[in-house]
Amino acid sequence: MTKKLVSMTINGKKVEEAVEPRTLLVHFLRENLNLTGAHIGCETSHCGACTVDIDGESVKSCTHLAVQCEGSDILTVEGLAKNGLLHAVQEGFHLEHGLQCGFCTPGMLVRSYRLLQENPNPTEAEIRAGISGNLCRCTGYQNIVKAVQYAAKKLQETATA
């Protein structure tokens, strides 16, 4: 199969690479770029473990082709921390015990990041609705909600400081 050259920005870095047109984004990230944060779970877009942010939208990378990302700006869980400092959602998940096994965590972090970009001060119900496309089989979600609330508060405090 003929490879196609694709160019995109991933976590702030320009990437240009030849890929087969049928290569899923999650495989491109994991196998070509060694960005293994997005997990391969259901491969049907139901679980959300592979969630990344593409051009300001949460996308399940297991059903998105790498060639569809031509010219896109992509954020993966590896790009959340800046200058060695955890992003507020990462800090919230750590401090509020928002994870157990950790399988859903990368996708949940990226989705929570986007949720807070879209709604900086969500209610508990809005958080639950906002993360509903990402499944967690361990936590019961309560601490994930607390983690997102923590992050929202921290981001608001940082914005007004």
pLDDT tens, 115-136? 999 999 999 999 999 999 999 9
Q: Establish how many alpha carbons lie within 13 A of residue 141's alpha carbon, considering only the half-sphere containing its beta carbon.
A: 13
Indicate the pLDDT class of residue 159, thresholds 50, 70 and 90: confident
**Mind listing the domains of the chain with CATH numbers?**
4-79 (3.10.20.30), 88-160 (1.10.150.120)
Please state the length of the chain: 161
What's the pLDDT at 139?
86
Q: DSSP for 118-129?
A: H-SS--HHHHHH
What's the pLDDT at 45?
86
